[in-house]
Amino acid sequence: MTASTASSATKLTYRPDRLRKPSPGRRVFQVVNGVLLIGFALICLLPFLHVIGSSLANPGELATRAFVLIPRELTLDAYRYVLSTPTIFRAMGVSVFVTVVGTFLSLLVTSLMAYALGKRHLRGRRVINFLVVFTMLFSGGMIPLFIVVNGLGLLDSIWSLILPFTVNAFNFVIMRSFFQGIPDSLEEAARIDGCSELGVFVRIVLPLSVASIATIGLFYAVAYWNTYMWAILFINDSTLWPIQVLLRQIVIVASGLNADASVVEVVPPAQSVKMAVIAVATLPMLVVYPFIQRYFVKGALIGSVKG
Amino acid sequence: MSAPLLTQRTEPADPLPPAGPSRSKRRGRAIWRHKTLYLMALPGIVYFLVFKYLPMGGLVIAFQDYMPFMGVTGSPWVGFDHFVRLFTEDTFFMLLRNTLVVSLLLLVFAFPIPIVLSLMLNEVRSRLFKRSLQSIVYLPHFMSWVIVVSLFYVLLTTDNGAINNLISRAGGDEIGFLTDPDWLRPMYVFQNVWKTAGWGTIVYLAALTAVDVSLYEAAELDGAGRWRQTWHITLPAIRPTIVVMFILAIGDFLELGFEHMFLLLNSLNREVAEIFDTYVYTAGIQNGQLSYATAVGMFKGLVGLLLVVIANRMAKKFGEEGVY
């Protein structure tokens, strides 16, 4: 898209003298542009590299060097310490559970609902669809949801991080338009062959939308994994904290700069341990990121067009 | 089956049993089919009723002195008292100021950066280089705010943080980025740009691929350099996208979100860091003023709704599809 320039211009004969090959000025521009972009990319990467580098350095080096990117001497002591305590594993376990079970439940409920409400002949679908989309614009907010979750007896239950977030209206809208894009003729053929509505959904629609469902599944998974705000509201029991809450407790609250005073005081952990905890919490996302990135880019574009 | 939940707008009561042989079989079958569909939608509908519309109904406690042990039915009604209190206390102006200033800073600094970034990425010729850059700048988007704030926390802290180490080595005085109220807003905006700018380019990059290449060829023939091509072709071509994104940003003007600010908030910078979203938590969960906090949240939610609706109207006027 950017590179094609003067090649097809031979037909147009007027002002041929103005036709130019990439000029020296253009070269300079390319280099400057590239350097600036690399600079921005480095700013994006540096905080990660700093934390990973520091987590692998020994405390002595951290105390004496101003800025550690590549440690002079590698040590896994901080990781050994972090992974020897059950806390991190438990928090990871909570996060994994919430992510896996939550994503599965969300996909199940969202896809069934999106399929049904995508049917144009369904009475009442316009009202329901409006009510769903309206929740994107206005909500009861933090306190009323807190009261509802409390009323359902879900406080300090791992399900409080899943059930209140089962269906995301945005994901629902995207999925509904996926399903509506499937040709009716396919479904009709299956129906004539005696397939029930559920059978059509399971045997025809789902297999045709595996890629789309995987995309939405990733949206849900990342959201569940990154859950933080509701966890501090709903979960007081520290054994049920997901990794995001634990991370904040260790890095920020334990340093004395806590926003809420209600938390138990902890001895500030050594700096390399802090670094290792951040690295461990970041790692799962860094590992899956290369695989999920392109699905998200696609999803972001669908969202911006159809949302 | 699920029909009662859908209230009046669902199927008219049909006296026929679904498999009834009389009348038209087709109609009976159609109703049966609908019932399966309603059943499929039922879990989702229940979800929205319980976790979206029940809390919306719960907003009535903003007009009560809600006491948890009395419930919504037993708590006394106080009318608009909480709203009157909100608008007459100094806190309101602090919240309004903090929210508006940060929103404005985001609009001025965080909004244009993805546009510039995508124009720059668009000039990159090597595909591999461009792809690699994109992969890197998208990465922060996937990190939770806790991770973002933690990554910067260890860089910015005065307790052997890298930036302050460098400053003091250079002979300067350490800066309390995390506690100094003057640094709260720059830090917030910087972290926001760091997390969202790369991801924000996606929409613009997509718009840029749609620009007609022959326009550039024609401009080249007319002797327009790369800058003038950018100014006269590229920017006008993506102007509709920019306008819509700008309008949507206006619609989200107050939506700073809870997490980021809450993570930066502490007792030393509260004066500038407390925004409506965090104040609902402070007042409601920490101070236990559930009704008052609900009123604060409701006020912000209604203003936000108004902004989104206006913004969407505007977006439609500009000939683009709105958000809903």
A-contacting residues in B 80-109 (Cβ below 8 Å):
none
Numbered ranges of CATH 1.10.3720.10 in chain A = 80-306
Residue A285's nearest CA partner among B143, B260, B197, B146 is B143
CB contact under 8 A, A127 and B9: yes
CB contact under 8 A, B125 and A30: yes
- In B, which residues are within 8 Å of A228 by CB distance? 144-146, 259
Q: Are residues B19 and B93 in the same domain?
A: no
Does A41 or A7 have the greater pLDDT score?
Answer: A41
Measured distance CA(B293)–CA(B312) in Å, rounded: 28
Q: Are residues B290 and B145 in the same domain?
A: yes
Q: How do residues B278-288 score in pLDDT, each as one tens digit?
A: 999 999 999 99
pLDDT for residue B8: 40
- In B, which residues are within 8 Å of A33 by CB distance? 120, 123-124
Residue A15, pLDDT > 60, answer no
CATH number of the domain that residue B111 is part of: 1.10.3720.10
User: Across the interface, which of A65, A67, A124 has its CB nearest the CB of B6?
Assistant: A124
Percent of residues, chain A, with pLDDT higher than 90 = 49
pLDDT for residue A17: 43
Residue B185, pLDDT > 80, answer yes
Residue B320, pLDDT > 70, answer no
Does A306 or B157 have the greater pLDDT score?
Answer: B157
Across chain B, what does the average pLDDT equal?
86
- Tokens linked to B263: 């993570």
- B130 within a domain of the structure (yes/no): yes
Q: Are residues B195 and B296 in the same domain?
A: yes
Residue A267, pLDDT > 60, answer no
Helix or strand run (H / E) with residue A291: helix A271-306
* All residues at 6 or more sequence positions from A228 whose CB lies less than 8 Å from its CB, including other chains: A242, A244, A245, A248, B144, B145, B146, B259
| Closest chain B residue to the Cα of A59, Cα to Cα | B160
A-contacting residues in B 223-282 (Cβ below 8 Å):
223, 225-226, 258-259, 262-263, 265-268, 278, 280-281
Confidence of residue A22 (pLDDT cuts 50, 70, 90): low
Q: How do residues A54-101 score in pLDDT, each as one tens digit?
A: 999 888 888 888 888 888 888 888 888 888 888 888 999 999 999 999
Q: Of A207-221, B29-43, B46-60, B219-233, which one has max mean pLDDT?
A: B46-60
User: Across the interface, which of A51, A123, A275 has its CB nearest the CB of B11?
Assistant: A123
The whole-angstrom distance between A57's CA and the closest CA on chain B is 14
- B184 within a domain of the structure (yes/no): yes
The whole-angstrom distance between B151's CA and the closest CA on chain A is 6
pLDDT for residue A192: 85
Measured distance CA(B306)–CA(B12) in Å, rounded: 36
Q: Are residues B47 and B164 in the same domain?
A: no
User: Which residue type, as a one-letter code, is found at position B298?
Assistant: M
Q: How do residues A208-227 score in pLDDT, each as one tens digit?
A: 888 889 989 999 999 999 99
Residue B319, pLDDT > 80, answer no
Is the sign of the CA dihedral B17, B19, B21, B22 positive or negative?
Answer: positive
Rounded to two decimals, the ipTM of the complex is: 0.86
Measured distance CA(B222)–CA(A6) in Å, rounded: 12
| Closest chain B residue to the Cα of A9, Cα to Cα | B217
Q: Are residues B288 and B256 in the same domain?
A: yes
pLDDT for residue A31: 93
- B189 within a domain of the structure (yes/no): yes
**Cα of B152 vs its chain's centroid, Å:** 22
A-contacting residues in B 124-183 (Cβ below 8 Å):
124-125, 129, 132-133, 135-147, 149-155, 157, 159-160, 162, 165-166, 169, 178-179
DSSP A239: G
What is the mean predicted confidence (pLDDT) over A158-182?
Answer: 94
- Is B256 in contact with B247 (CB distance < 8 Å)? no
- B92 within a domain of the structure (yes/no): yes
Q: Whole domain around residue B20: which residue ranges?
A: 3-63
Q: How do residues B236-263 score in pLDDT, each as one tens digit?
A: 888 888 988 888 888 888 888 899 999 9
What is the mean predicted confidence (pLDDT) over A24-52?
Answer: 92
User: Across the interface, which of A112, A136, A145 has its CB nearest the CB of B40?
Assistant: A112
Residue B126, pLDDT > 60, answer yes
pLDDT for residue A4: 41
pTM of the model: 0.85
Determine the topology of domain A80-306 in CATH: MetI-like fold (1.10.3720)
Measured distance CA(B72)–CA(B55) in Å, rounded: 12
CB contact under 8 A, B221 and A289: no
Residue B125's nearest CA partner among A16, A52, A33, A245 is A33
| Closest chain B residue to the Cα of A5, Cα to Cα | B217
CA distances, A154 to each of A61, A110, A216, A283, B37 (Å): 46, 22, 26, 30, 30
B105-114, B195-204, B232-241, range with the lowest pLDDT: B232-241
Q: Are residues B45 and B179 in the same domain?
A: no
Q: Are residues B300 and B198 in the same domain?
A: yes
Q: Are residues B304 and B162 in the same domain?
A: yes
Measured distance CA(B194)–CA(B215) in Å, rounded: 34
- B282 within a domain of the structure (yes/no): yes
What is the mean predicted confidence (pLDDT) over A112-123?
Answer: 90
Residue A199, pLDDT > 60, answer yes
User: Which residue type, as a one-letter code, is found at position A121?
Assistant: H
Q: How do residues B162-178 score in pLDDT, each as one tens digit?
A: 999 999 999 989 999 99
Q: Are residues B112 and B194 in the same domain?
A: yes
pLDDT for residue A2: 39
Confidence of residue A268 (pLDDT cuts 50, 70, 90): low
Residue A6, pLDDT > 60, answer no
